[in-house]
């Protein structure tokens, strides 16, 4: 057979339907008699709703129903929730403001849904939505997280006076939590007694996730038994099901089937529960007909959870030999107008523990204040907390090297963690790694040592050339349940589940609770199953994204499929293998211990006696001649809860050329060396790196979800205003290499790869720009205007 | 309502549409050709690219009535007798797609590039010619590779 197994760059099985137009995304699903929902959204960032007049709209052609927040509330529908409880350092719980699926009384961000119009056609629903009259009393809005903490900031939610002790008596009205990690006193002492201290102030720019497929919902209701079916653009159908049923109460869990058909990218934005799926389920039940909603791109900009948006001050201390002594980080995180499903997790446990980076830093203290603003909720976007941490640490170290006059690479190398497992002072225990190896490979591949010659050559052409470095650490898996779930505040377990069915004819079905939305799961999982039996991947089907088929699952986010999903598949294959060997042994009249598997055949070692996988599976189902201690059938299920997270790492080198006349930056060379542990399909994994690096390049150079501070309007609200990376932004030369240090935390030694590029690339790019310009004062996105202005002011100061 | 007659992937079709209806809506909703996607509404992303009389055109900014009398080719019409078009095959072989949502538009853009510029396309040309197509997944590295390889085989 062809080598379809683990380690082979097999072209993807799923591609044929996507390249021929046969993919089925939620928006492609159409049910007989379906109605269309259109949402009337707030044009104001902050306002009281004085009145809602539906009289004209309800008379419009084709209108079937118009739903309001009051109606949903009366119907027992609960609010959207945040599923991760964070406790402030004074012991107070996080302050979660009410988040009704359709606004009641007040709106807190532009785009918040207030009324849902359901009509026979989408055009009719849109026409009727225009006729809904809402009278607002507008209120002052605040969109910047620092401003939101000021005493005179408009209060976005109304909380009871908090009796617990806050720094200045009462908590600022928009404070959600004031949380810390690490030893404050020890860190302060380390900084006080240090020989060198370097400080940096940074803003991590707000970004829009921007999956090319916008969100969509098709909700169906069968009145005879009260059963719902929801087709939805979700990264985690089972998690969505439990939230919609147990928490929001819109449908009972055992009568709610969720189908995520092909999902066109997510980058985090499709993890969360949104108003639209709640309202469409409700509307389908009321109408007794299917209800469909497909987001326009404008709605996606206004309502998909955004990412990042941190304001941070950080300082790092070194001894006289440039060893790191302490790191102190103070961050204000913007969570928007309401708390999205995992909003609280991102700037806390996915951020602060990553601030140890690849380094031995004996003392770390991180303080995070999360705040409400009049902006769309902020939650996970590719990397989720980890890019923010890496940006802080890697910019700070680069700045320190320059300020202290030491080599940037050597300053990092001197402080690398070298013994594993390594317990950081901020919770995480690194599993394995070889950071020296990564840096050495990256420096060599990027020809770091010859940079000065390239810089001089560029200068002759009138270009400013700079080189930057970033050594990132990631924490993947969002697991284990015991740590993250139990101790750190998760409302859910974070294991994964897989079921393997060997059919009577010997073909294999892998059912797994993750949800691929571009990552090539259908091929990767098939390779693992094919590898076990020595069969072609065409004999394997992979099924995800249907709660009626896949029994349980936690979905795909946080690069958790590699560690958790594949491990669940692996464990289920172990069980299949054990049973299949038992059956084969019986058929071959041999001992189980003597059975070996290769090329789809079970052989008795040392003999030519063998049966095929089909012989075994057929025997399992016909069950004519198997002993009574074997049950019929050949399907097995396994849950996998890892012992710990996995910690991929990498070293990125970026080289840029800046045109001083225009301020334009060109990324001329990008070198990425990643350690993802073992790799199933190198071609797919490399594709994840390409996409991740480009995503990070977008954040570093192009993208900013900018709100007008006065009105709270999203200024960058379409692809005409929000600058997505395009093909011409690609680094001129892009090199990638793997280093493989397997993790001991799962059976295949996989660490995860989906987010690494987006985590490591922004600081590498900005460090290259600051190197070229000779100033640290550059913020993301480093637009030509910002760079040109920096050059002008440097020129004036010179 | 207006009657619009077109040839779509070789088949003559006649549809009744409102004058405000977009070509992409007719293709997707009335002809069930859902391989053509809408991803931006502002003519920026190219997910809706189809060939109208052989020329790549954004069907989200074309009124259906404008296409009256035209020959339309969508992604569904590219493979012949079960054999992938060289551009489709090249996207698979070079891992030029991840989630697949932008892919039909990317493939159409590649086909159109060859029509205008020939089979021998260098990286820089492809990068620049893809200005009207957005992909969030791939970082474009393998899309450029796929178009180059597909073009050479056309």
Report CB contact under 8 Å: B99, A22.
Answer: no
Residue A161 reports pLDDT greater than 90: no
Residue A308 reports pLDDT greater than 60: yes
Pairing of strands B49-52, A363-371: unpaired
Is A409 within 8 Å of A651 (Cβ atoms)? Answer: no
For residue B132, give the nearest of B110, B100, B99 by alpha carbon: B110
What is the pLDDT at residue A493?
A: 77
What is the pLDDT at residue A644?
A: 87
Mean pLDDT, residues A221-249 taken together: 97
pLDDT tens-digit readout, A678-697: 999 999 999 999 999 999 99
Q: Where are the alpha helices (DSSP H) in A405-520?
A: 408-414, 435-445, 451-460
What is the pLDDT at residue A634?
A: 98
Residue A163 reports pLDDT greater than 90: no
What is the pLDDT at residue A518?
A: 96
Report CB contact under 8 Å: A21, B35.
Answer: yes
CATH number of B86-153: 1.10.150.120
CB atoms within 10 A of CB A659: 16
Q: Does A666 reach chain B within 8 Å, measured CB to CB?
A: no
Smallest Cβ–Cβ distance between A15 and the set B91, B141, B144 belongs to: B91
pLDDT tens-digit readout, A165-192: 565 566 788 999 999 999 999 999 999 9
What is the pLDDT at residue A169?
A: 62
pLDDT tens-digit readout, A77-128: 999 999 999 999 999 999 999 999 999 999 999 999 999 999 999 999 999 9
Q: Nearest C-alpha of chain B: how many angstroms from A27?
A: 9
- Report how far apart the first and last C-alpha atoms of chain A are (Å, whole number): 68
Residue A704 reports pLDDT greater than 60: yes
Q: Does A23 reach chain B within 8 Å, measured CB to CB?
A: yes
Mean pLDDT, residues A748-765 taken together: 96
CB atoms within 10 A of CB A663: 19
Smallest Cβ–Cβ distance between A19 and the set B36, B88, B130 belongs to: B88
Alpha carbon B8 to its chain centroid, in Å, reads: 13
What SS3 state is found at A606?
A: coil
Alpha carbon A462 to its chain centroid, in Å, reads: 40
* pLDDT greater at residue A773 or residue A562: A773
Q: Where are the alpha helices (DSSP H) in A162-296?
A: 184-192, 237-242, 275-287
Contacts of A207 in chain B (CB under 8 A): none
Report CB contact under 8 Å: A298, B136.
Answer: no
For residue A20, give the nearest of B134, B73, B103, B143 by alpha carbon: B103
What is the pLDDT at residue A1?
A: 45
Q: Does A59 reach chain B within 8 Å, measured CB to CB?
A: no
Residue A487 reports pLDDT greater than 90: no
Mean pLDDT, residues A645-668 taken together: 97
User: Which homologous superfamily does the CATH classification assign to the domain defined by B2-77?
Assistant: Beta-grasp domain (3.10.20.30)
For residue A35, give the nearest of A132, A115, A124 by alpha carbon: A124
- Of the pLDDT bands very low, low, confident and very high (cuts 50, 70, 90), residue A667 is very high
pLDDT tens-digit readout, A579-607: 999 999 999 999 999 999 999 999 999 99
Q: Where are the domains of chain A?
A: 310-479+644-797, 495-640
Q: Where are the alpha helices (DSSP H) in chain B?
A: 23-25, 86-93, 103-117, 123-129, 141-153
Buried b (16+ CB within 10 A) or exposed e, B111-120: bbbbeeeeee
What is the pLDDT at residue A479?
A: 63
What is the pLDDT at residue A624?
A: 87
pLDDT tens-digit readout, A26-67: 999 999 999 999 999 999 999 999 999 999 999 999 999 999
Q: Nearest C-alpha of chain B: how many angstroms from A792?
A: 30
Q: Encoding tokens for residue A382?
A: 């590719």
What is the pLDDT at residue A731?
A: 96
What is the pLDDT at residue A408?
A: 97
What is the pLDDT at residue A165?
A: 58
Half-sphere exposure in the Cβ direction for A58 (13 Å, CA): 9
Examine domains A310-479+644-797 and A495-640 and report if their fold is the same.
yes
**Among the CATH numbers 2.170.190.11, 3.30.365.10, 3.40.190.10, 3.30.465.10, which is that of A310-479+644-797?**
3.30.365.10
CA distance B107 to B50: 10
Smallest Cβ–Cβ distance between A726 and the set B97, B104, B131 belongs to: B131
Q: Does A214 reach chain B within 8 Å, measured CB to CB?
A: yes
Residue A405 phi, psi (nearest 5): 70, 35
CA distance A593 to A733: 52
Mean pLDDT, residues A771-786 taken together: 96
Residue A9 reports pLDDT greater than 50: yes
For residue A207, give the nearest of A391, A477, A396 by alpha carbon: A391
Give the number of A-B residue pairs with CB atoms closer than 8 Å: 174
CATH 3.30.365.10 fits A495-640, yes or no: yes
What is the pLDDT at residue B87?
A: 98
Report CB contact under 8 Å: B35, A734.
Answer: no
In this prediction, what percent of chain A has a pLDDT beyond 90?
Answer: 91
pLDDT tens-digit readout, A489-531: 777 778 999 999 999 999 999 999 999 999 999 999 999 999 9
Contacts of B20 in chain A (CB under 8 A): 123
Report CB contact under 8 Å: B130, A18.
Answer: no
CB atoms within 10 A of CB A793: 12
What region does B43 belong to: left with phi over 0, alpha with psi -120 to 50, or beta? left
Q: Nearest C-alpha of chain A: how many angstroms from B131?
A: 6
* Nearest chain B residue (CA) to A209: B136
* Nearest chain A residue (CA) to B138: A691
Q: Where are the domains of chain B?
A: 2-77, 86-153
Report CB contact under 8 Å: B92, A24.
Answer: no
Could you say which residues from 722 to 741 on chain A have a Cβ atom under 8 Å away from some Cβ of chain B? 724-728, 730, 734
Contacts of A725 in chain B (CB under 8 A): 139-140
Query: Sign (positive/negative) of CA torsion B84, B87, B93, B95?
Result: negative
CA distance B19 to B63: 7
What is the pLDDT at residue A160?
A: 72
- Of the pLDDT bands very low, low, confident and very high (cuts 50, 70, 90), residue A795 is confident
Q: Nearest C-alpha of chain A: how many angstroms from B69?
A: 24
| Averaged pLDDT of chain A | 95
């Amino acid at each position: 057979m062809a080598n379809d197994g683990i380690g082979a760059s097999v072209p993807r099985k799923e591609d044929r339907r996507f390249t021929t137009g046969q993919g089925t995304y939620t928006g492609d699903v159409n049910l007989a008699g379906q109605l269309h929902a259109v949402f009337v959204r707030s044009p104001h960032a902050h306002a009281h709703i004085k009145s809602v007049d539906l009289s004209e709209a309800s008379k419009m052609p084709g209108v079937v129903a118009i739903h309001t927040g009051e109606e949903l509330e009366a119907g027992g529908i609960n609010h959207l929730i945040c599923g991760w409880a964070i406790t402030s350092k004074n012991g107070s719980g996080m302050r979660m403001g009410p988040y009704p699926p359709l606004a009641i009384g007040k709106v807190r961000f532009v785009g918040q849904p207030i009324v849902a119009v359901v009509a026979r056609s989408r055009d009719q629903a849109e026409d009727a939505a225009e006729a809904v009259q809402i009278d607002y009393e507008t209120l002052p809005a605040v969109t910047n997280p620092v401003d939101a903490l000021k005493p005179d900031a408009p209060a976005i939610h109304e909380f009871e006076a908090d009796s617990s002790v806050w720094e200045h008596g009462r908590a600022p009205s928009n404070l959600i939590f004031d949380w810390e990690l690490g030893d404050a006193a020890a860190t302060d002492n380390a900084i006080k007694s240090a020989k060198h201290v370097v400080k940096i102030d940074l803003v991590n720019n707000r970004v829009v996730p921007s999956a090319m497929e916008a969100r969509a919902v098709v909700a169906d209701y069968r009145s005879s038994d009260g059963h719902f079916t929801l087709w939805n653009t979700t990264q985690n159908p089972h998690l969505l099901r439990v939230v919609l049923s147990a928490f929001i109460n819109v449908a009972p869990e055992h009568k709610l089937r969720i189908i995520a058909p092909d999902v066109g990218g997510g980058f985090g934005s499709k993890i969360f529960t949104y108003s639209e799926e709640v309202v469409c389920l409700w509307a389908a039940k009321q109408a007794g007909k299917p209800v469909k909603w497909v987001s326009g791109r404008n709605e996606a900009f206004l309502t998909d959870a955004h990412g990042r948006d941190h304001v941070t001050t950080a300082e790092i201390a070194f001894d006289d030999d440039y060893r790191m002594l302490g790191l102190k980080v103070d961050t204000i995180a913007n969570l928007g107008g309401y708390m999205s499903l995992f909003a609280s997790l991102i700037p806390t446990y996915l951020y602060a523990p990553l601030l140890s980076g690849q380094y031995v830093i004996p003392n770390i203290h991180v303080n995070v204040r999360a705040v409400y603003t009049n902006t769309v909720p902020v939650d996970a976007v590719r990397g989720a907390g980890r890019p923010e941490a890496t940006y802080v640490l890697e910019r700070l170290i680069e700045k320190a090297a320059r300020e202290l006059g030491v080599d940037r690479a050597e300053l990092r190398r001197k402080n690398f963690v070298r013994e594993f497992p390594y317990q950081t002072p901020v919770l995480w225990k690194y599993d394995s790694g070889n950071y020296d190896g990564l840096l050495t490979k990256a420096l060599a591949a990027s020809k770091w040592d010859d940079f000065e010659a390239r810089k001089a050559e560029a200068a002759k052409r009138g270009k400013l050339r700079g080189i930057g470095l970033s050594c990132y650490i990631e924490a993947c898996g969002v697991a284990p349940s015991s740590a993250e779930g139990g101790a750190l505040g998760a409302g859910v377990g974070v294991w994964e589940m897989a079921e393997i069915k060997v059919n009577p004819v010997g073909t294999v079905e892998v059912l797994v609770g993750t949800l691929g939305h571009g990552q090539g799961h259908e091929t990767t999982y098939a390779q693992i199953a094919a590898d076990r039996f020595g069969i072609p991947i065409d004999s394997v089907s992979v099924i995800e994204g249907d709660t009626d088929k896949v029994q349980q699952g936690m979905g795909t986010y946080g690069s958790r499929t590699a560690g958790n999903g594949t491990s669940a598949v692996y464990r289920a294959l172990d069980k299949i293998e054990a049973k299949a060997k038992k059956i084969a042994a019986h058929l071959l009249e041999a001992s189980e211990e003597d059975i070996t598997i290769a090329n789809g055949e079970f052989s008795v070692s040392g003999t030519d006696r063998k049966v095929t996988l089909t012989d075994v599976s057929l025997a399992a189902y016909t069950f004519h001649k198997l002993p009574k201690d074997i049950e019929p059938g050949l399907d097995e299920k396994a849950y996998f809860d890892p012992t710990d997270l996995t910690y991929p790492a990498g070293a990125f080198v970026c080289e840029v050329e800046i045109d001083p006349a225009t301020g334009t930056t060109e990324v001329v060379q990008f070198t990425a060396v990643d350690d993802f542990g073992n790799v199933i399909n190198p071609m797919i994994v490399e594709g994840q790196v390409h996409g991740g690096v480009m995503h990070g390049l977008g954040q570093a150079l192009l993208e900013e979800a900018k709100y007008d501070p006065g009105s709270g309007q999203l200024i960058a609200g379409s692809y005409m205003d929000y600058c997505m990376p395009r093909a011409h932004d690609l680094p001129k030369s892009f090199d990638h290499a793997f280093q493989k240090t397997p993790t001991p935390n799962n059976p295949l030694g996989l660490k995860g790869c989906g987010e690494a590029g987006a985590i490591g690339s922004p600081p590498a790019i900005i460090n290259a720009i600051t190197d070229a310009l000779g100033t640290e004062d550059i913020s993301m996105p480093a637009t030509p205007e910002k760079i040109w202005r920096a050059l002008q002011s440097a020129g004036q100061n010179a | 309502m207006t009657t619009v007659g077109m040839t779509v992937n070789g088949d003559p079709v006649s549809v009744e549409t409102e004058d405000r209806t977009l070509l992409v809506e007719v293709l997707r909703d009335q002809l069930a050709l859902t391989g053509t996607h809408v991803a931006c509404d502002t003519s920026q992303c190219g997910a809706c690219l189809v060939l109208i009389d052989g020329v790549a055109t954004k069907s989200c900014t074309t009124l259906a009535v404008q296409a009256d009398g035209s020959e339309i080719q969508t992604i569904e019409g590219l493979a012949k007798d079960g054999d992938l078009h060289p551009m489709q095959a090249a996207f698979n072989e070079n891992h030029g797609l991840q989630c697949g949502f932008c892919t039909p538009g990317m493939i159409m853009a590649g086909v159109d590039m060859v029509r205008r510029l020939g089979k021998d396309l260098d990286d820089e040309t492809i990068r620049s010619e893809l200005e009207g197509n957005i992909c969030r997944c791939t970082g474009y590295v393998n899309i450029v590779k796929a178009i180059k390889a597909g073009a050479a085989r056309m």
